[in-house]
Amino acid sequence: MIKDILLLCAAFILPTIAGYLTIAAMDKDGMVSCIERIALSFAVGAGLLSFYMFLIGILGFTFSLAALLPFFLISGGIAVLLTRNNGGMKSENKNINTFTGTRLSLPKVIINFVFLCLIAWRIFFAIFNAFTYPPYFDDAVTTWDYKAKVIFSNKSLGKNSSTDFLGGGTGSGYPLNTSLFKVWTNMMVGKWDERYIHIYHVTIFICMLILFFISLRQYAATTISLAFSYILASIPLMAFHSYGGYADLATGFYFFAAILMLARWIHTNMDSFLYIMVILVAVMVFTKNEGYLIFTPAILATFLYFLFISGLSRKEKMKKVSVLVLGILIFIGPWLITKNIYNIGIGSFPIEFHKKAFAELLRVFFTEGSFNILWISAVLLLMLNPKGAANRLCLPYLLPTLLAFLATAAVFTFTVNFEWLWVRTTINRSLLILTPSIVFSTALLVLNLNKGCVK
Amino acid sequence: MRFLTKKLFYLISFPCLILAGTCLFLFFIPPIAQAALNRNFVINWQFSNIDWVEFKDNHLMLKGFWDPELTIPTIDLKAKDFYVLAIRIRSSNPMGFMRIRWKGDSRTRFYPPMEIPLKPDMGFHTYRFDLRNRTDLIKLWKGDVSKIVITFFGFGDTIEIEELSISRPEGLYEKAKIVWENFWIPAIITSASINKVDSPFLFTLPFIFILNCGALIVGIGIIVFFYGGWGRKGTPKNSWRQKMISIVLPLFLTLWFIYDIRDIYSQAYIVSSVNNGFRKPEAKKYFFDLTDFYSFAGFIQTSLPEGTKKFYFYQPDSRNLFALTKYLLYPSVPVPLDKDGVADIHVVYKNPFVKVKDGMLYQGLNQIAKGIVIGRYDEYSFIFKEMKQGRND
């Protein structure tokens, strides 16, 4: 058992180090603070490792620790070479996350403590269930965990003519990021153990909360940051996804982190944020199909809009667009080529208008308990502060979120996917992906109204 | 001054006395039972998916094969008048749940179900449900109800029913108690729970609907108050905006927290259920509606002959455990029964229609294959190995 725990720790720490080094290599100007880097490191490292596993798998190599060793050597080596000339973390960023020096009043200490306890409960609940629950939920059993088990058992991505190709399961066109990381975890432990496969989701959940809190705290006071972190952690549907084995929460994390980096790039014009965003968007596409159908276009549209209104020269603009598009394609290219060669797309969705969708969506927002009162509160806060929404601080976060929201609603209203709204399966999970960015944008709207909440 | 105090005392005490008297009166009015548990009623009940049933000393005891179901005819039951179903039961499944459906108003289909988890301590408990609790705000408990169907989810569980009645609560206290009890009924966990979280009910409405309405009314009220000009008279712009958000934010946070308390309770219930069922160091581990299926899968994993690539899988009717079996037993793959001759191993789980008699596997009256039982999990769950004629002769 102790050996398993140590190997399990190594399975999570190694990709985190790779991710940390990658971010450090990208962030030449030291713009990303230390805790933010740590919160991003696991997701970035795990994503890159999955890309590497997919690449060697599709080239016909079998998965073994020896075959995976080059990933750590290459990523570590490149990162060390690239970070040699880096200036280190900026002094102002070093101070972003210091909690000492600010004296809080007793009521604030009590409120912060209550919020921390409520968040801690959510984390406990996720950890308890991740270690206890056997694979149980529908798509985890038929797709996400199933793919991982098949790939782990075959030690390869399988032959294209077999039912085990790309892990088999109900959808061979499903991206493999989460499944391949589960393969890696079990390879490290040396056996397939159901207890370990959902730790990935808990880790992403915790990383998301840390990233959310730290990012918000750059604008807001500790109590406000904790309050909104609590709101994010306590979204009722989030509780199931923090251990359930689906890929929606991970997609939500990558979407939110990519938006954060995009907004920073818009606010500072520092290219390091753009580079990190490229990786995050690429991993998001490799996590769920919605990644390239809905969320990448939303991010690209926001990027192009802000690039268009920026004072950069045409040549500079072209350079930035090229960096973004080519960067994403370099990472995701092998997956898209594979999809194309083996014709494992997402299928076709004939356009058809469903009048009933509006009433159903209203029911989802108004009478069902998956998101607490998130939708009504967000709409009301938007109505309270329409000018704040268009503010340069808030818009880079709000615009991609709104675009993705509208695209999600459109998919269920104007295509055959209405069926999944009717039975309430995919709709709630698709909306869950948006929740971190919605709560963050809402928090910024509040800050814009009340300067007293600002740090 | 003394006179005024005395007057004030009478003024206050008189309505208080009337109120207290009314409460006491309402308190002691007994509920009216419509379909109580006694022999006359039980005779008309229908049972399905059960191994055996026994009615003794006003106690109904039944053992199910899978998801035992009892259908209660309720001739001319006026939904308007009777709407609280009370059932006092004990189940051998610490993680089971029950489902209630009903039919009425000459409808051919049953109304959407109501699902309630059973308490994990396996003792007797009384569960009372307000059948008017509305899903999606559509009134479903209405008109004349002709049938009520109660299903207990799980495989091979023993259920004991001590009391069952449909009544109308009389009195404020009784009504409040029903509302309170129904509010705290935790959500059940199924394999589809990850797609949607249902709201609890309060006063027959989804609780989240009430909170959303509250948020909407307050939000719009505040928008009108401040943007209409009343809230910002004589105050600078930043100041009234700050005041506005200082009211809105704590209010929304309070509403959020109220719902969250209920959600935390539901989660704590799940933790407690898992501790009492799946985490108990017993051979048969229970897990929600799957009962001991994971233990069975573990048994199959160790008992399947080495190198078994494919096997036929006989699951309980009305359940689909195929995908889960496929996942848990990979690389061995279950194959559908209509694919002839692809496997010589037959795995049966809680299916009383599949039996072995004189070395022959039967499904109902159909002969399936000749062979031997190579592993038995329980009476209705086993592994059967087909012996090919050529090899045995």
Phi/psi of residue A150, each to 5°? -65, -45
Asked if the model's pLDDT at residue A454 lies above 80, the reply is no
pLDDT of residue A2: 87
Q: How many interchain CB pairs under 8 A, A with B?
A: 168
Structure tokens given for B349? 């789980």
Q: How far apart are CA A294 and CA A305, in angstroms?
A: 17
**pLDDT tens digits, A83-117:** 666 656 665 555 555 555 567 788 888 999 999 99
Asked if the model's pLDDT at residue B23 lies above 50, the reply is no
3-state SS of chain B is CHHHHHHHHHHHHHHHHHHHHHHHHHHHCCCCCCCCCCHHHHCCCEEEEEEEEEEECCEEEEEEEEEEEEEEEEEEEECCCCCEEEEEEEECCCCCEEEEEEEECCCCCCCCCEEEECCCCCCCEEEEEECCCCHHHCCCCCCEEEEEEEEEECECCEEEEEEEEEECCCCHHHHHHHHHHHHCCCCCCCCCHHHCCCCCEECCEEHHHHHHHHHHHHHHHHHHHHHCCHHHCCCCHHHHHHHHHHHHHHHHHHHHHHHHHHHHHHHHHHHHHHHHCCCCCCCCCCCHHHCCHHHHHHHHHHHCCCCCCEEEEECCCCCCCHHHHHHHHCCCEEECCCCCCCCCEEEECCCCCEEEECCEEEECCEEEEEEEEEEEEECCEEEEEECCHHHHC
Cβ–Cβ of A377/B197 closer than 8 Å?
A: no
Cβ–Cβ of B194/A137 closer than 8 Å?
A: yes
Rounded to a whole number of angstroms, the distance from the CA of A135 to the nearest CA of chain B is: 8
pLDDT of residue A452: 54
Asked if the model's pLDDT at residue A50 lies above 80, the reply is yes
A12 band by pLDDT with thresholds 50, 70 and 90: very high
Residue A422: how many other CB atoms lie within 10 Å: 14
Q: What is the mean pLDDT of residues A213-236?
A: 93
Q: What is the mean pLDDT of residues A270-293?
A: 92
Q: Give the DSSP letter of residue A453.
A: G
What are the C-alpha distances in Å from A79 to residues A21, A139, B375?
Answer: 5, 37, 56
Question: How are beta strands B310-314 and B345-348 bridged, if at all?
Answer: parallel
Rounded to a whole number of angstroms, the distance from the CA of A315 to the nearest CA of chain B is: 42
Which A-chain residues 61-120 have CB contacts (< 8 A) with chain B? 118
By mean pLDDT, which of A310-319, A407-416, B70-79, B345-354 is the weakest? Answer: B70-79
Q: Does A424 touch chain B (CB under 8 A)?
A: yes
Where is mean pLDDT largest: A89-103, A128-142, A159-173, B118-132? A128-142
Only one residue has tokens 């000393």, namely B57
Asked if the model's pLDDT at residue B138 lies above 50, the reply is yes
**pLDDT tens digits, B89-99:** 999 888 888 98
Asked if the model's pLDDT at residue B85 lies above 50, the reply is yes
Name the region of B307 (left: φ>0; alpha: ψ -120 to 50; beta: rest): left
Which A-chain residues 125-164 have CB contacts (< 8 A) with chain B? 125, 128-129, 132-142, 145-146, 149-150, 153
Which residues are CB-neighbours of B329 under 8 A, at least 6 positions away?
B297, B300, B301, B304
Q: Mind giving me the DSSP string for A386-429? A: HHHHTSTTTHHHHHHHHHHHHHHHHHHHHBTTHHHHHTTSHHHH
Q: What is the mean pLDDT of residues A245-258?
A: 95
Asked if the model's pLDDT at residue B135 lies above 70, the reply is no
Cα nearest neighbour of A134 on chain B: B294
Residue B216: how many other CB atoms lie within 10 Å: 16
Residue B284: how many other CB atoms lie within 10 Å: 15
**pLDDT tens digits, B304-355:** 998 899 999 999 877 889 999 999 999 999 998 888 888 999 999 988 899 9
Cβ(A212)–Cβ(A256) below 8 Å: yes
Structure tokens given for A112? 């912060």
B277 half-sphere exposure, CB direction, 13 A CA radius? 32
Q: What is the mean pLDDT of residues B72-83?
A: 80
B391 band by pLDDT with thresholds 50, 70 and 90: very low
pLDDT of residue A7: 93
Q: Which of A424, A136, A238 is nearest to B289 (CA)?
A: A136
Question: How are beta strands B59-78 and B205-206 bridged, if at all?
Answer: unpaired
Asked if the model's pLDDT at residue A313 lies above 70, the reply is yes
B392 band by pLDDT with thresholds 50, 70 and 90: very low
pLDDT of residue B7: 47
Asked if the model's pLDDT at residue B80 lies above 90, the reply is no
pLDDT of residue B31: 43
Cβ(A205)–Cβ(A242) below 8 Å: yes
Q: How far apart are CA A253 and CA A41, in angstroms?
A: 12
Q: How far apart are CA B7 and CA B134, in angstroms?
A: 47
Asked if the model's pLDDT at residue A62 lies above 50, the reply is yes
Structure tokens given for A141? 């059993």
Cβ–Cβ of A373/B211 closer than 8 Å?
A: yes
Q: Does B258 touch chain A (CB under 8 A)?
A: no
Q: Is the ipTM of this complex over 0.85?
A: yes
pLDDT of residue B37: 66
Cβ(A291)–Cβ(A284) below 8 Å: yes
Cβ(B245)–Cβ(B233) below 8 Å: no
By mean pLDDT, which of A396-405, A428-437, B61-70 is the weakest? Answer: B61-70
Cα nearest neighbour of B224 on chain A: A384
Asked if the model's pLDDT at residue B215 lies above 60, the reply is yes
Alpha helices (runs of H) in A190-313, residue ranges in sequence order: 199-217, 222-233, 236-241, 248-268, 271-285, 290, 296-309
Cβ(A402)–Cβ(A295) below 8 Å: no
Asked if the model's pLDDT at residue B2 lies above 70, the reply is no
**pLDDT tens digits, A155-214:** 999 887 788 888 887 777 899 999 999 999 999 999 999 889 999 999 999 999 999 999
Q: Give the residue with greater pLDDT, B62 vs B137.
A: B62
Cα nearest neighbour of B211 on chain A: A373
pLDDT of residue B11: 44
Q: Give the residue with greater pLDDT, B67 vs B33.
A: B67
Asked if the model's pLDDT at residue B30 lies above 80, the reply is no
By mean pLDDT, which of A196-200, B47-51, B130-134 is the weakest? Answer: B130-134
Name the region of A110 (left: φ>0; alpha: ψ -120 to 50; beta: rest): alpha
